[in-house]
Amino acid sequence: MSQSESQHAESHNIENMLHEERLFPVPKAFKPQVSFKSEEEYLAAWNHAKDAPAEFWGQIAKENLVWETPFETVMQGDMPETKWFQGGKLNASVQCVDKHIGTARQNKAAIIWEGEPGDVRVLRYQDLYREVCKFANVLKTLGVQMGDRVTIYMPMVPELVIATLACARIGATHSIIFGGFSADAIADRNNDAKAKLIITADAGWRRGKEVSLKKTVDESLAKAVTVEKVVVYRRTGCDVEMVPDRDYWWHELMAKAQAECEPTPLDSEHPLFILYTSGSTGKPKGVLHSTAGYCLGAAMTSKWVFDIADTDTYWCTADVGWITGHSYVVYGPLSQGASILMYEGAPNWPDEGRFWQLIEKYRVSIFYTAPTAIRSFMKSGDQWPQQYDLSSLRLLGTVGEPINPKAWMWYHTIIGGERCPIVDTWWQTETGGIMLSPLPGVTATKPGSCTKPLPGVVPAIMSEEGEPLGDNEGGLLVMTQPWPHMLRTLYGDHERFKETYFSKIPGLYFAGDGARRDQDGYFWILGRVDDVLNVSGHRLSTMEVESALVSHPSVAEAAVVGFPHDLKGEGICCFVTVNTSTANPGEDLKKELINHVRKQIGALATPDQVRFAAALPKTRSGKIMRRLLRDIAAGKETIGDTTTLEDYNVVAKLRTEDE
C-alpha cells in the first residue's frame, strides 16, 4: 500500500490497540431462572428475529403484553418511520400493575423503599394499583386529558413511580425531569413540551440536606407559560409557598380521590413519554417513546438480561429521571412482577458503605449500577463492601459508559464474589432498552465488552462512507433493522430526528458511538465518536487511553481529551485523579503514567500532558464532561451549556491547578 492509500484507509477507522484477552465463562453457581438457558436457544431466537422480525416480535407481543384490542399488523414502513402493532390498543400501566392483580403476586412487594434518613415503606402490588388509580383520578379532576403533557420533577420516592404510571393510565404523556436540574432547565423543557401540569415535592433528602424542589419549580414557572397547575407531594415537611388555585397538596387531593380508575385503551403508537437528553450542541432533545413498542422492549430485555424471577430482590440504582430509571426501575421490572428496591439518597451517605449495607439488609439479588459509581467505590476502598454480607447477590449489571477492565475485575471479585455474571449493557435514551448485552446464563464475558446483540437487534460496524468493516476494525456502530422500542421522533422536531440519527449512513440508525467487533463476534464500545482523537492522522479512542491510565495502581479515574497540537494535529491531555493511598502526586508519577500508557497502547498514544485533579467534572448522570475538559486543555474560557454539571467548583479547581 502506498503511503497515501494507507493514510486514506486509516482516516476511516478508529484505531484500537487495547485488546483484552480474558474470557469468563458463566459462573457455575448461576442458574438462569427465566432467561435463555443455552447458546443454541439464543442463536435460534436471534436468527429468527433477524430473518423474520414481524413473526418474531408479533408472537412475543401477543404473549407478553396485555392487549385491550389485538393488533392487526406487526411492523409497517421502513426505518425511521416504522409503525409497530397497528390496530392494537393497550395501556402501559396495565402491564405494570393490573396484570398482577388477582394473581399470587398481588400481595408481593412491588416497591421496597428506603429514604435517605432510613425511613422504610413497602408497597405491595395491590397498594401500588390503588395509588396509581387514585392519582389517575386526581389528574383527571385537575383537567388533565389524554394527549396532554405532564412534567414530573420529584425525589426518588414511591410517589414518583405512582405519578408516572398514573399519567400512563390516562394517556397523558409524561416528561420526567431529574430532580437535580435548575429552574431554567425545567422551564425550557416545560415550554418545549407545552406541559399543562407539573408534579413535584416540597424537597428531597441528599447527603443529609434538604434539596428543595418546589422552590425551583416556582422559579421556573415565571418562564414556563403553559403550566396551569402544580401538585406538591410532602416529603420533608419543609416550608413551601402554595399559590391558591395553582398549587395543590398531593395528600389533600388523594384523600378525596376514588379508588377505581379504568385504564384508557391507547393506540400502540400513543406517545408514552418524552425524555430530554442533551446533545453535544444546541437545545436538549425531547426523545419520544411509544406505548406498545417501548413496553415490549422494557419487558423483554428485563426478562432476558436481568433474568428477574419471583424470588429476586432487584435493585437498579438509577434515578427515575434518566432513561435507565424509566426502563429498569419502572416499566421493565414492574412488568415482570419484580420486587424492586428503591433508595432515595446518595451512595456515600452517611458513609461509603450505604449501598452495601442496603444490599445486606434487603438481601438484594440483582444489582444494576454505573461504572462511574463502581470506580468511586473502588477509590474509597475494599473495607467498605467487606463489612457487609453480599452473598445474596446472584447477578450484576452496568450501564452508561464503557467499563474499564480494572473496574470490571473489582466488581466481579469484591462485589460479586466471582459467583455473579456481569451484564455490561449497551444502550441509549434513544434505543429505549438494552441492545447489546451478555445473557447472564449463556454468554461468556470479556471484561470491558458488552458482548453481543440481543434478539431483534442487528448491528453493524461501518466506515464513515457506510462500508461494512471487518473483525477488529473500529468504526461507527449502526443498527440495520428497526426494533420496537426505538425512539419515534424528537418532540416537535421530526426533521432534527431524521437528521440526527438517520442521515450519517442513510436509512440506518446511528447515534454517535464508535465500536469494534472482535474475532469472536464480541462488541467493544469505543465511546462517542465526538470523543475520538486524531493524533498524527490516527483516530484513537479516548476511552482506550483512559482505560490504560486506570489500569495503573495509583490511578482512580481518568479523562482524556485532545487539544490543538502543532505537530500532531491533536495532542493527548490526561486529567487524572489518584487513589486515596497516593499522597502528593508529582512529576515522577506523571512520567510513570506516560510510560505506562506507551507500554499499554503504543508510542502513538503517548500523552502530551498529565494533569492531576481532585475530581473530574461530571454530568449528574455521571458522564465526564469532555467538552469542558477540552476547553481547559486548550486554555479556552468555558462556553456552552453547563446546566447538567454535577459540581461546578470542580471546573474552577481544575483551572487553578492549571495556573
Residue 284 CB, shortest distance to ligand WT7, in Å, is 11
Q: How far is the CB of 430 from ligand WT7 (least distance, A)?
A: 7
525 part of the interface to ligand WT7, by CB under 6 A: yes
Binding mask 450-469 for ligand WT7 (x = CB under 6 A): x-------------------
Cα–Cα distance measured from residue 659 to residue 656, given in angstroms and rounded to the nearest whole number: 5
Give the nearest distance from C-beta 426 to ligand WT7 in angstroms: 4
**Is it true that the peptide bond before 80 is cis, omega within 30 degrees of 0?**
yes
**First-to-last C-alpha distance (Å) of the chain:** 46
User: With contact defined as beta carbons under 8 Å apart, do 57 and 457 qualify?
Assistant: no
Which of the residues 547 through 606 are near ligand WT7 (CB under 6 A)?
A: none
Q: Which is nearer to ligand WT7, 390 or 436 (CB)?
A: 436
Interface with ligand WT7, residue 513, by CB under 6 A: yes
Q: How far is the CB of 512 from ligand WT7 (least distance, A)?
A: 6
- Which part of the chain contacts ligand WT7 (CB under 6 A), choosing from 157-165, 343-351, 423-431, 480-488? 423-431
Residue number with CB closer to ligand WT7 (203 or 436): 436
Helix ranges, 222-340 (H) = 250-255, 292-306, 323-325, 332-335
Residue span binding ligand WT7 (CB under 6 A) among the ranges 230-238, 303-311, 341-349, 508-516:
508-516
Among 517, 528, 552, 630, binds ligand WT7 (CB under 6 A): 528
Of 192, 424, 544, 570, the residue at the interface with ligand WT7 (CB under 6 A) is 424
Question: Residue 224 or residue 296: which is nearer to ligand WT7 going by CB?
Answer: 296
C-alpha cell at 265: 385503551
Q: Are 56 and 476 in contact (CB under 8 A)?
A: no
The sign one gets for the Cα dihedral 230, 233, 235, 238 is: positive
Computed on alpha carbons and rounded to an integer, the radius of gyration of the chain in Å comes to 24
Backbone φ and ψ for 526, nearest 5 degrees, come out as: -100, 10
Closest distance of CB 397 from ligand WT7, Å: 9
**3-class SS letters over 388-446:** CCCCCCCEEEEECCCCCHHHHHHHHHHHCCCCCCEEEEECCCCCCCCCECCCCCCCCEC
| Closer Cβ to ligand WT7, 335 or 429, answer by number | 429
Query: Smaller CB distance to ligand WT7: residue 203 or 511?
Result: 511
d(CA 405, CA 428): 21
Q: How many CA atoms lie within 13 A of 297 on its CB side?
A: 30
Q: Map residues 324-343 to x or -, x wherever contact with ligand WT7 holds by CB under 6 A.
A: x-------------------
Place of cell 388509580: 133
Measure the CA–CA gap between 410 and 416, rounded to whole angstroms. 9
User: What are the Cα distances from residue 460, in Å, to 127, 222, 451, 516?
Assistant: 45, 47, 13, 9
Going by their DSSP bridges, the two strands 569-578 and 609-612 should be labelled as parallel
Interface with ligand WT7 by CB under 6 A: which range of 108-116, 229-237, 420-428, 588-596?
420-428
Pick from 183, 157, 163, 158: which is nearest to 175 by CA? 163
Which residue in the shown chain puts its C-beta closest to ligand WT7? 429
Among 114, 127, 307, 401, binds ligand WT7 (CB under 6 A): 401
Considering only 236, 291, 428, 500, the residue that binds ligand WT7 (CB under 6 A) is 428
218 touching ligand WT7, by CB under 6 A: no
Please work out the total of residues on this chain that contact ligand WT7, with binding judged by CB under 6 A: 20
CA–CA separation, 23 and 73 (whole Å): 42
Report if residue 473 touches ligand WT7, rule: CB under 6 A.
no
Among 323, 505, 556, 624, binds ligand WT7 (CB under 6 A): 323
284 sits near ligand WT7 (criterion: CB under 6 A): no
Chain residues that interact with ligand WT7, rule: CB under 6 A: 277, 323-324, 399-402, 424-429, 450, 511-513, 525, 528, 621
